[in-house]
Amino acid sequence: MKGIQIVEPYQLKVVDLQKPVITETDNVLIKMKAAGICGSDMGIYHGTNAAAVYPRVIGHEMVGEVEEVGAGVTKVKAGDRVIVDQVVKCGECYACKINRGNVCHNLKVRGVHIDGGYQEYIAVPQEDCYILPKNLSNEDAVMIEPTTIAIQSCSRAELSKEDTLFLLGCGALGSSILKIARLSGATIIVGDVIEEKLQEAMEHGAHYTINLLKEDIESKIKEYTGGYGPTVSIDAVCYNDSLTTLLNLTGNAGRVITMGFSVAPTEITQYSITSKELDVRGSRLQNKKFQEAIDLINEGNLDLKGSVSHTFPVLDAQKAFDFIDSKKPSIRKVVLTFD
């Protein structure tokens, strides 16, 4: 079978792989149908993802159809369309024992530490499979995984209707967070540099927007929050000074949520945290959030249709990555499809 492997930064290859077989542990064989390209996938390609191990078959947004199941499998059956949890945890460390397996001490992420979804078949444990909503296409279903990341970030933020959220960035990640954040009833301010994305944010539930190229962020934040500052800030872009910016903007007793994996140094002071008694919390991956996302869709509270802007056949992965690197404003979510 064919797969897409990042051999080293900026070196993407179509490779021949051995088709996986069902084992006692990996007891569900899935034929891949669609796989998303995420910012972290681009980071592995660019060599900026500190967690990546090369060479690697990447892809952690994985949608497919169950082809075969092992003895004793009860959660899924052949023919079911499923999405696959990317988190592989040990179950034994401190983080796992307190039900935070997404930051397991021995964490392995499919598509990062072990091979992921850019291959024709993958074998996984049944507990990592979640049946897709019937009315969602394979391509749109890829967006369930980014939605779980959004749910995790809002959960870590303890976001509620009493909060004012400042969401920095409204690309693919920020847009997913916005769709979840608006369900909380919080007042939402979105900042970005692309006017079209800000207009879309208003259409999708933001109350205020700030064009970071044209407007002064500090004065606009004060205007929209009555001088207090947001009670929750989520960094959905992770540029060099974004953490410093959010620490300075966030109001007393607020929460600042980081999601990036940049290892570039940034200058912050203890004063900026201690003086306002801010909580600075990381939000990584997701912690058993797939069913929650699927339930939101089935209940009619979340619509993922139309989120994908472009698709490419999986064997044209290089074209897809080059296209994303073009940074065209029309790009939202790019998905690789399988025959």
Residue 10 has which token pair? 């900026």
- Give the pLDDT of residue 133: 96
Name the CA dihedral angle for 191, 195, 198, 202, rounded to a multiple of 10 degrees: 140
- Give the pLDDT of residue 312: 98
C-alpha–C-alpha distance, residues 130 and 86, integer Å = 12
Contact criterion met (CB below 8 Å) for 301 and 280: no
Beta-strand pair 108-109/121-124: unpaired
- Give the pLDDT of residue 70: 96
Nearest residue to 205 (alpha-carbon basis) of 228, 179, 169:
179
In order of start, what are the domains of the chain with their CATH numbers? 2-143+304-337 (3.90.180.10), 147-282 (3.40.50.720)
Look at the block and give the residue holding tokens 């933020």.
157
As a three-state string, the secondary structure of the chain is: CEEEEEEECCEEEEEECCCCCCCCCCCEEEEEEEEEECHHHHHHHHCCCCCCCCCEECCCCEEEEEEEECCCCCCCCCCCEEEECCEECCCCCHHHHCCCHHHCCCCEEECCCECCCCECEEEECHHHEEECCCCCCHHHHCCHHHHHHHHHHHHHHCCCCCCEEEEECCCHHHHHHHHHHHHHCCEEEEEECCHHHHHHHHHCCCCEEEECCCCCHHHHHHHHHCCCCCCEEEECCCCCCHHHHHHHHCCCCCEEEECCCCCCCCCCCHHHHHCCCCEEEECCCCCCCHHHHHHHHHCCCCCCCCCCCEEEEHHHHHHHHHHHHCCCCCCCCEEEECC
C-alpha–C-alpha distance, residues 69 and 50, integer Å = 35
Look at the block and give the residue holding tokens 């203890």.
270
Q: Give this prediction's pTM.
A: 0.93
- Give the pLDDT of residue 330: 84
What is the full per-residue pLDDT of the chain (339 aa) written as tens digits? 999 999 999 999 999 999 999 999 999 999 999 999 998 899 999 998 888 889 999 999 999 999 999 999 999 999 999 999 999 999 999 999 999 999 999 999 999 999 999 999 999 999 999 999 999 999 999 999 999 999 999 999 999 999 999 999 998 899 999 999 999 999 999 999 999 999 999 999 999 999 999 999 999 999 999 999 999 999 999 888 999 999 999 999 999 999 988 878 889 999 999 999 999 999 999 999 999 999 999 999 999 998 899 999 999 999 999 999 998 888 889 999 998
Q: Helices 290-298 and 144-157, interaxial angle, to 10°?
A: 110
Nearest residue to 321 (alpha-carbon basis) of 45, 5, 110, 50:
45
- Give the pLDDT of residue 22: 96
